[in-house]
Amino acid sequence: MSNEGISVGVSGAPESRVERGLLALYRLALTAWVGCTWTVGLLAAPLAFAVLTPRSLAGTFASHAFYWQSIVVFVCAAIVLALHKRLERRVHLTRVSIIMLLSMVTLAAIQQFVLGPWMASLRLEMMMQAAPIMQESLATRFGALHGISAVLYAGQCVLGAVVVARSR
């Protein structure tokens, strides 16, 4: 409903332009967060490995894409979580949704600050090793970390889908 240019929100209270702007910012940040996560992990990185040669070039591209994706995640997460309390009645975020969002940020942080640097150091070590047995050992460790990272990333994608589906 609208009365003299003031729209009425869910609670019946007048909704200000500021609140509408914050709600739009919240929705854009959530969309960018989840959309970027899906785009980089489900499209850009697999496409890099399908198109770029050698594989090390594709890996370098993917690692940079994941780095910038994590920057988007942290910025958007800060916006969404900061606006949550102010917009709580409008966005209908439940405690479960907040836990899912915090889980997504935690998974992204583990990937960015633990697994990412560890995998980068193993890649560098593999490039410097001449002995095939050492390269194989390092490649096995790298593969295990990559598998863990892929599971964490899939978790972010699924949690993001659930949060978006639950938001109104």
pLDDT score recorded for residue 37? 96
Strands, E, within the chain: which ranges? Answer: 2-3, 6-8, 14-15
Q: Is the pLDDT of residue 1 over 80?
A: no
pTM equals: 0.83
With b for 16 or more beta-carbon neighbours within 10 A and e for fewer, the 68-77 pattern comes to ebbebbeebb
Contacts of 22 (CB under 8 A, 6+ apart): 83, 86, 87
- Over residues 61-67, the mean pLDDT reads 94
Q: Is the pLDDT of residue 6 over 50?
A: no
| pLDDT, tens only, 132-148 | 777 888 989 999 999 99
Q: How far apart are CA 160 and CA 33, in angstroms?
A: 8
Look at 10-19, 31-40, 115-124 and tell me which has the smallest mean pLDDT. Answer: 10-19
Q: How confident is the model at residue 115 (pLDDT cuts 50, 70, 90)?
A: very high
Taking a C-beta distance cutoff of 8 angstroms, is the pair 149, 115 a contact? yes
- Over residues 102-129, the mean pLDDT reads 93
Domain ranges of the chain: 11-166
- Over residues 61-87, the mean pLDDT reads 93
Q: Is the pLDDT of residue 8 over 80?
A: no
Q: How far apart are CA 13 and CA 17, in angstroms?
A: 13
Look at 30-44, 56-70, 90-104 and tell me which has the smallest mean pLDDT. Answer: 90-104
> For residue 64, how many other CB atoms are within 10 A of its CB?
11
Q: How confident is the model at residue 84 (pLDDT cuts 50, 70, 90)?
A: confident
Q: How confident is the model at residue 153 (pLDDT cuts 50, 70, 90)?
A: very high
